[in-house]
A and B are shown apart, each in its own frame.
Chain A
C-alpha cells in the first residue's frame, strides 16, 4: 500500500482544484486520453472531485462518458494521462477498486440469489468474513429502503428495487468515490426523487465523492454541487453548477401570459428601454420571447422592470424565466457550439 502511494505524483492545482466546501480531493484526473483505432474517444480529461461532493457528469451520446467511467473505475486503461483515487495511482487498479463503488448503467443480478445473499457475496469479495458481510448487507439494505425485501429473490425485484440493491452493492466497501451511471433511468418520477435523495445522502453522510452520470439535466441541477460537461471527448464546461450556469450570457427572458393578453403584453414590454425585441415564442402558445439589449445582471434590475411593467398593466404573469438560466440551456448551448 505504501509503495502504491509513493508512486503518486502531485497533480496541478488550479481551475480543477477541490471545490469550496470539500475537505479534500478524493479523485484527481489529469489529461486522460483514449482512442479506439483512429477515433479519439477522450482528449485530455482533467477534473477533481472533492470528498462529500456530488459531481454531475454530462454529455451527449458518444461524448466519452462511458469511456471516462470505465477508465476511472479501472475497467479500461487510458492511453495517456493519469488519475488517482485517495492518492493511489491508477497503476494499482486493485487498490483503486478497494476505494470505489460503481453502479454501472446496465448491470445484471443473479436470478437465484436473494438481496442479502447478493450483498454478502460482494462483501466477502471485499475481504469481509461471511458474518460481517451479511451484517453489513442488512445495514445497507436498510439504508436503501429494502430491508423488508432482503430475503426475496432479486429476480422478483422491480426495476427501482434493482437499482437500489445495485447502489447498496456499490456501497459495500464504504467507498471514497461512488460512480452512478444513469441510476434513475427507467424509474417513475417518485422513484427518481427517492433515488436522488438517497444519492445526496450518500455524499453527505458518508463523505464520499459521487459522480452522477445522467441525461436528466434537471436532476443533475437539483442535486449536484459540481458539473463536468463533455462533448466529443473534451470537457466543454466544468465547475460548480451555479458557476457553469452563471457563465453563460443571458439576454433573453421567456414570459408566459394568458393568450388574450399577448398583444397588450407585447405593447407594454416594447416601452422598456432595455428591451430590444418582443415576439411570440415559436411553438409555445402564450409564451413571449423578450430579447434584451444588455445581458442580465445579478442585481435583477431589468427583470424587475419587466415584471413591474406587466403588473402595472394588470397582465397576469403565469411564468417568467431567463433563457439560459438552467443547466439544460447551458448544456444545449455548449454542445451545439462544440458541434459547430
Chain B
C-alpha cells in the first residue's frame, strides 16, 4: 500500500515555469476587484468624497474661516481615513465573502498553503491604497497653493497611509477569517473602524487647554489609537513644523499596529483558515 504508482507520477509533478501561488491568487483577486468593479466603485466614491471635501475646505479658506495649513492637514487626514476604509472593507470581504459565495472550498482544496492564499488576498486588498494616493495628491497640491505645509503633507501623508492601509486590510481579513457571514464581517469591521476614527476626530476638537494630568491621559489615548497618533503626527508636522526627531513617539503606533496585525494574520489566523469560520475546532459542523 505504501508503494508509489509509477504510472501516476505524471499527475503529481508541477510542470513548466509555474508562478508562486500567492502571485496567482493575487492576480486573480486583483482582476476580480478591478475588472469586477468593486474596487473601482469604492475608488469612485472616494474621488467624489474627496472632491466635495476639497470644495468645502476651499470655500472656507476663501472666507478666511480656515487657515491654509489646517485645510491641507484636514484634506490629508480625510484622504487617509477614506483610503483606510476601502482597504478595510475589501479585507473584510476576503474570506467571509468567498464563504458566502461558496468559492472558498475550491480554493482550500488545492495544495496551496493557507498562508499563500492569505498573502495573495492581502496584497489585493491593499491595492486600492496607491490609487487613492494618486487621486489625492493633486488635490493636496492645488489646495495648498504653494504653502510650506505641502512638502510634509506629500511626504508624511503617503508614508503614514502606507503603514496603516496594510494594517486595516489585515484587520478586515482577520475579522473575515472568523465570520461565516459577510454582513457580520462588514459590520464588525465598521465598528472597529468607527471605534478608531471617532476618538481620532474628536481629539482634534479639544481646543480648551487641558490640565497637565488630563493632557497626559489624552496623549496616551491618542498614542494608543493608530489613526489618532497619525493625526497628531501630521498636525504637529504640518502646523508646527516639528521634526521627526521631536515627534518619533507618535510614529511608533502606526509602525507597531501593522506589525502586530500582520503578525497575527500571517503567523496565526491565515495558516488556520478553515471552510467554516473560526480557527479552532469549535463551531464547525457538518453531517
Interface residues of A (CB under 8 A from B): 5, 8, 10-11, 24-25, 28, 36, 41, 51, 61-67, 70, 73-76, 84, 86-87, 94-95, 97-100, 102, 104, 106-112, 121-122, 124-132, 169, 173-176, 207
| 5 tightest Cβ-Cβ pairs between the two chains A and B | A127-B14, A129-B16, A108-B102, A174-B11, A108-B101
- CB pairs A–B below 8 angstroms (14 shown): A24-B5, A25-B1, A62-B287, A67-B287, A87-B1, A97-B110, A107-B103, A107-B106, A108-B101, A108-B106, A112-B36, A125-B25, A126-B110, A176-B5
Residue of B nearest to A7 (CB): B2
Q: Is B63 an interface residue (CB 8 A)?
A: no
**A73 and B109: CB pair below 8 A?**
yes
Known contacts A87-B3, A108-B103; A121 and B24 CB within 8 A of each other = yes
Q: Is B212 an interface residue (CB 8 A)?
A: no
**A65 and B287: CB pair below 8 A?**
yes
* Residue of A25, A75, A87, A100 touching B4 (CB-CB under 8 A): A87
Chain B nearest CB from A102 CB (Å) reads: 5
**A66 and B287: CB pair below 8 A?**
yes
Chain B residues, CB < 8 A from A109: 103
Q: Is B245 an interface residue (CB 8 A)?
A: no
Chain A nearest CB from B287 CB (Å) reads: 5
Chain A residues, CB < 8 A from B3: 87
Residues of B contacting A: mostly: loop
- In Å, the complex CA distance between A121 and B112 comes to 12
- In Å, the complex CA distance between A309 and B123 comes to 79
**B11 and A176: CB pair below 8 A?**
yes
Interface residues of B (CB under 8 A from A): 1-5, 7-8, 10-19, 21, 24-25, 28, 31-32, 35-36, 101-103, 105-113, 274-275, 284-287
Known contacts A75-B108, A110-B103, A129-B17; A63 and B287 CB within 8 A of each other = yes
- In Å, the complex CA distance between A122 and B110 comes to 8
* Residue of A99, A125, A130, A131 touching B11 (CB-CB under 8 A): A99
- In Å, the complex CA distance between A121 and B16 comes to 15
Chain A residues, CB < 8 A from B19: 124, 129-130
Chain B nearest CB from A165 CB (Å) reads: 11
Residue of A nearest to B275 (CB): A75
* Residue of A65, A129, A173 touching B18 (CB-CB under 8 A): A129
- In Å, the complex CA distance between A174 and B285 comes to 30
Chain A residues, CB < 8 A from B107: 125
**A107 and B11: CB pair below 8 A?**
no
Chain A residues, CB < 8 A from B4: 5, 86-87
**A11 and B111: CB pair below 8 A?**
no
Chain B residues, CB < 8 A from A175: 11
Chain B nearest CB from A223 CB (Å) reads: 23
**B2 and A76: CB pair below 8 A?**
no
**B16 and A174: CB pair below 8 A?**
no
- In Å, the complex CA distance between A101 and B14 comes to 16
- In Å, the complex CA distance between A127 and B110 comes to 10
Chain A nearest CB from B176 CB (Å) reads: 16
- In Å, the complex CA distance between A210 and B37 comes to 39
Chain A nearest CB from B183 CB (Å) reads: 17
* Residue of A5, A70, A95 touching B286 (CB-CB under 8 A): A70
Residue of B nearest to A11 (CB): B1
**A126 and B14: CB pair below 8 A?**
yes
**A84 and B111: CB pair below 8 A?**
no
Chain B residues, CB < 8 A from A87: 1-4
Chain A nearest CB from B213 CB (Å) reads: 51
Q: By CB atoms of chain B within 10 A, which of A97, A98, A100, A125 has the most?
A: A125
* Residue of B12, B24, B103 touching A98 (CB-CB under 8 A): B12
- In Å, the complex CA distance between A73 and B106 comes to 11
Known pairs A36-B285, A62-B287. 20 more at Cβ < 8 A?
A5-B2, A11-B1, A41-B287, A61-B287, A67-B287, A74-B109, A76-B286, A86-B8, A87-B1, A87-B3, A107-B106, A122-B106, A124-B19, A125-B111, A126-B111, A127-B13, A128-B18, A130-B19, A131-B16, A169-B106
